[in-house]
Amino acid sequence: MLTIRLENLIKRYGDVQVLHGIDLEMADNEFTVLVGPSGCGKSTTLRMIAGLEEVSEGEIFVDGKPVSHLEPKDRDLAMVFQDYALYPHMNVAQNISFALRLARRPKAEIEKKVREVADTVGLTEFLARKPGALSGGQRQRVAMARALAKDSGIFLFDEPLSNLDAKLRGQMRAELALMSQRVQKNMIYVTHDQIEAMTLADRIVVMHGGYIQQQGTPEELFKRPVNKFVAGFMGMPPMNFLDGEIVEHDGGVFVKGDGFDVQLIGEKAAKAQKHNSKQITLGIRPSDLAFEADAEPARALKLDVEVSEYVGAQSVLLCKCGPARVMVEVNSQTPVALGQTLTFAIDPGGVHLFDRNTEVAL
């Protein structure tokens, strides 16, 4: 069992506090993704786990033992950097074997390991090349191979795919997912890309402003975001937000705003009724809206279609609902003409409510 536990982790640079008490527990063999916008503290957290940044307050426990006073080399971890951080003067084989050579392992063992790892990531024919003579994707593989060769208990990834072009990124993402299944290790992965987070993670930790906003499985975060930030951050295209008020009429509970009046049903209605503030934000994902000309008005939005972005099987319609912009994901076959006002039915399970002031989900 190799668990990692962060306890009230705080980081200050001078007077500026960038991490405000991070508490996090990562189980053995878990793939944890820290995700958030730039400056949210995710990389700092990772670098503190790695030992590259000092811990201002709090403690990091690996296997129950505090490690924050240890040098990076004594923490049993391997790391893949955003810019790969290869040693430019060493060839691929030397890069991969650097840690093993420092540890003075027997030569035969090192050679075997290098061949094995190079084979895993498909670098065998490039072993004699220097990093300068490799393409971006190949460098990325070297970085990965170097981390694998170390055989550490913990794998850290600091935005490893963000320097690659879109196509290669998708490919490497798939390879990473495969690798994480094969190599059963603790993996902590930092990214600002929520798609990477969704596809790779056993557990996602969403960070913002130096705080953990929410943690859970990709599905939990997608279906039950705890606040407006998480709701807006996870999912592509992002969730639509419409400001409105809770009103009761015709024997039902409604969210009424500029250009819409949507009835809440079931649990949501009860929650909205009990909520102390009437000022509310209605959240609906683009995929939870469906074109339906004769939908019941209380369960639908009337939208002015302004732009249609064709992306293959799906199209994303950019619409207007009163002053607010609303995106709708529809099948490309849907007959839509720009400039029309159309009715879109709301999936009852896809209604999210947030307090407008605190932005917390109801």
Partner 1 sequence: MRTAMANRLTPYMFMAPAIVIMALALMYPLGYMIWGSFRDWNPSQTIGEAEFVGLKNYITLWGDPNFHESLGVTLRFAFFVVSIEMVLGVGLALLLDRDIRGISVLRTMFILPMMIAPVVVGLMWRYMYHPTVGTFNRFLDGIGLPTVDWLGQHALMSIIIADIWQWTPFIFILSLAALQSLPRSALEAARIDGATAWQQVIHIKLPLMMPVLIVTGLLRLIDAFKVLEVILVMTEGGPGLSTEILALRISRTATEFRELGVAAAMSNYLLILLLLLTVAMFAFNRWQETRAARVQALVEEDD
What are the residues binding partner 1 (CB under 8 A)?
Answer: 50-52, 71-73, 77-79, 81-89, 98-99, 102-103, 129-130, 132-135, 138, 146, 150
Give the shortest CB-101-to-partner 1 separation in angstroms. Answer: 9
Nearest approach, Cβ of residue 238 and partner 1 (Å):
32
C-beta of 86: minimal distance to partner 1 in Å?
A: 7
In whole angstroms, how close is the CB of 231 to partner 1 at the nearest point? 34
227, β-bridge pairs: 360
Residue 210: name the closest of 69, 8, 25, 70 by CA. Answer: 8
Q: For residues 321-351, b (16+ Cβ closer than 10 Å) or e, as one string?
A: beebebbbbbeeeeebeeeeebbbbbeeebb
Q: Which residue's CB is nearer to partner 1, number 11 or number 228?
A: 11
Please tell me the distance from the alpha carbon of residue 36 to that of residue 28, in angstroms, as a whole number.
23
Q: In terms of CB distance, is 144 or 317 closer to partner 1?
A: 144
Gap between the terminal Cα atoms of the chain = 37
3-state secondary structure of 33: strand
Name the residue nearer to partner 1 (CB basis): 81 or 211. 81
* Residue 83 or 245 with smaller CB distance to partner 1: 83
Q: Tell which phi-psi region holds residue 122, choosing left (phi > 0), alpha (psi between -120 and 50) or beta.
A: left
| Residue placing its CB nearer to partner 1 in the complex, 152 or 334 | 152
Least separation, in Å, of the C-beta of 183 and partner 1?
17
Query: What is the spatial order of strands in the sheet that 289-291 belongs to?
Result: 289-291, 341-346, 300-310, 314-321, 324-331
